[in-house]
Amino acid sequence: MSVAAATNGHASLDDDVKISELLRFATAGSVDDGKSTLIGRLLHDSKSIFEDQLEHVVQTSERRGDGYVNLALLTDGLRAEREQGITIDVAHRYFATPRRKFIIADTPGHEQYTRNMITGASNTDLSLILVDARKGMTKQTRRHAFISSLLRIPHMVVAINKMDLVGYDEEVFERIIGDFTEWSAKLEVGDLTFIPISALHGDNVVDRSEEMGWYQGPPLLYHLEHVHIASDRNMIDCRLPVQWVVRPHSDEHHDYRGYAGQVAGGLFKVGDEVMVLPGGQTSRISAIDTAGREIEEAFPPMSVTLQLEDNLDVSRGDLFCRPHNQPTIARELDAMVCWMAAKPLQVGSRYVIKHTTRSAKAVVGEIQYRVDVDTLHRGEPEGGLALNDIGRVRLRCSAELLVDPYARNRTTGSFILIDEATNDTVGAGMLLGAQRVG
């Protein structure tokens, strides 16, 4: 598209509206850690708060008698949130700098809203965890860090906030780093960065702090603008779950068969040999289409339509891969599951499982353990997994699924569980392994 932009006569758009990359990040923090203030600061200093929005916040703050301009009102959009002064559900906010576009998933800190935190964080590139410098790590900090690592969010930033209230003391910062590092040694965290900030005064948020000369790293916004995310995608294992078969009924395109989906991994090129699972037939890619325009190659996260040289039986739920690099065809799954419903997950319970573009029935065979998020110890799952519990579960499915470990691929390694009685989404699963069929 940017290629098109350079030639279609609109290339003279100003610098601040030019094409840029997208970074999605989730913020999490306990109540009063200053999360809303930080987001307000990022939006304000990047000039992303519009005048009428700010005016509204100023007026509402006055009316409520907050005594200050309460930037939390910008993101706490639900009536209940404003009444209680807490974030209940994830809010999305958007801002841009000349270098990148940002989507913030502002997620709640309360344990009882963990499922909303997971909703906001599941497809982000970076997790921003706030810690109050006066309090250090709390139970909620540990929960947020654990969930971020479980979701394999590739980058984590721990922003130690309210440094102004501890005299901008380097020792406080170092002590929290020590505590966090020691505790998180058991977690899978790819890239961990600590930044001392004061969201209220703007220290190390957009501009470097004049109060903390001892800190040599970049301010938060600079880090967000520069963190390298292109390598986070899996460009090795070719995976394309088929969503939809494009079959025009017109005379002009009578013989057209296109297999549409979003690339979940690897690089697909015209002429490549591909295999369709679970059937196992092979063919070559004759064309890759996007709305009438042919392209030569497709990679994540592009949505494309493939045409094949041969006429194969391919339908929704099938998956394209390469003959020498296939996912596991499995019915027995071993996964970490976050439970998101009041009615617990128990051995023998049945659900609908949705994995890529396939759905099946699943029955819980075993709950191996429940993770104590505070201590990271594995405990007995007495009575199953309750709301907001996280545990390791074995599932048996009514149909074959085409899976990879979540650590290898966030798309082919994830699934949701749906309660057939209520139609609610009740579980989020991340695959550890699978039993190959046959």
Partner 1 sequence: MNPFTYELSHLETLEAEAIHIFREVAAELERPVLLFSGGKDSIVMLRLAEKAFRPAGFPFPVMHVDTGHNFPEVIEFRDRRMAELGERLIVASVQDSIDSGRVVEETGPRASRNRLQTTTLLDAIAEHGFDAAFGGARRDEERARAKERVFSFRDDFGQWDPKRQRPELWSLYNGRIRRGEHVRVFPISNWTELDVWQYIAEEELEIPSIYFAHERQVFARDGMLYAFSDHVELINGEEPFDASVRYRTVGDMTCTGAVRSRAATLEHVVDEIAATRITERGETRADDRVTEAAMEDRKREGYF
Q: Which helix (H) or strand (E) holds 276?
A: strand 273-277
**Residues 290-319 contacting partner 1, CB under 8 A:** 290-292, 299, 301-303, 316
Separation CA 287–CA 273 (nearest Å): 12
Contact call for residue 240 and partner 1 (CB under 8 A): no
Instruction: Tell me which of 152, 239, 354, 392 binds partner 1, using CB under 8 A.
Output: 354
Q: Checking phi first, is residue 3 left (phi over 0); if not, alpha (psi -120 to 50) or beta?
A: alpha
The CB-of-24 to partner 1 minimum distance in angstroms stands at 9
Instruction: Tell me which of 191, 225, 425, 432 binds partner 1, using CB under 8 A.
Output: 425
- Amino acid letter, 19: I
Contact call for residue 74 and partner 1 (CB under 8 A): yes
Separation CA 42–CA 71 (nearest Å): 11
Separation CA 402–CA 330 (nearest Å): 6
**Binding segment (CB under 8 A) for partner 1, from list 35-43, 163-171, 258-266, 363-371:** 258-266
Over the window 11 to 40, marking each residue x when it contacts partner 1 by CB under 8 A and - when it does not, the resulting string is: -xxx-xx-xxxx------------------
The CB-of-319 to partner 1 minimum distance in angstroms stands at 15
Cβ proximity to partner 1: between 194 and 415 the closer is 415
The CB-of-291 to partner 1 minimum distance in angstroms stands at 4
Cβ proximity to partner 1: between 96 and 270 the closer is 96
Cβ count within 10 A of residue 205: 25
Task: State both tokens at 376.
Answer: 């990271």
Separation CA 113–CA 88 (nearest Å): 6
Count residues near partner 1 (CB under 8 A): 84
For the chain, the distance separating the N- and C-terminal CA atoms, rounded to the nearest angstrom, is 44
Separation CA 216–CA 389 (nearest Å): 39
Cβ count within 10 A of residue 146: 20
**Residues 107-136 contacting partner 1, CB under 8 A:** 115-116, 118-119, 122-123
Contact call for residue 237 and partner 1 (CB under 8 A): no
Instruction: Tell me which of 274, 415, 431, 434 binds partner 1, using CB under 8 A.
Output: 415
Instruction: Tell me which of 62, 68, 94, 217 binds partner 1, using CB under 8 A.
Output: 94
Over the window 157 to 196, marking each residue x when it contacts partner 1 by CB under 8 A and - when it does not, the resulting string is: ----------------------------------------
Instruction: Tell me which of 33, 89, 132, 334 binds partner 1, using CB under 8 A.
Output: 89
Closest to 160 measured CA to CA, from 125, 129, 121: 129
Instruction: Tell me which of 52, 83, 255, 380 binds partner 1, using CB under 8 A.
Output: 52
Strands (E) in 53-206, as ranges, are 91-96, 100-106, 126-132, 155-161, 191-196
Instruction: Tell me which of 103, 192, 206, 432 binds partner 1, using CB under 8 A.
Output: 103
Contact call for residue 386 and partner 1 (CB under 8 A): no
Q: What are phi and psi of 57, to 5 degrees?
A: -65, -40
Contact call for residue 70 and partner 1 (CB under 8 A): no
**Residues 260-289 contacting partner 1, CB under 8 A:** 260-262, 267, 289
Q: What are phi and psi of 41, to 5 degrees?
A: -65, -45
The CB-of-253 to partner 1 minimum distance in angstroms stands at 5
The CB-of-380 to partner 1 minimum distance in angstroms stands at 26
Separation CA 247–CA 260 (nearest Å): 10
Contact call for residue 407 and partner 1 (CB under 8 A): no
Q: Are 411 and 364 in contact (CB under 8 A)?
A: no
Contact call for residue 412 and partner 1 (CB under 8 A): no
The CB-of-299 to partner 1 minimum distance in angstroms stands at 5
The CB-of-17 to partner 1 minimum distance in angstroms stands at 5
Separation CA 407–CA 150 (nearest Å): 9
Strand partners, 194: 158
Closest to 287 measured CA to CA, from 260, 302, 269: 269
Separation CA 288–CA 269 (nearest Å): 8
Contact call for residue 397 and partner 1 (CB under 8 A): no
The CB-of-326 to partner 1 minimum distance in angstroms stands at 21
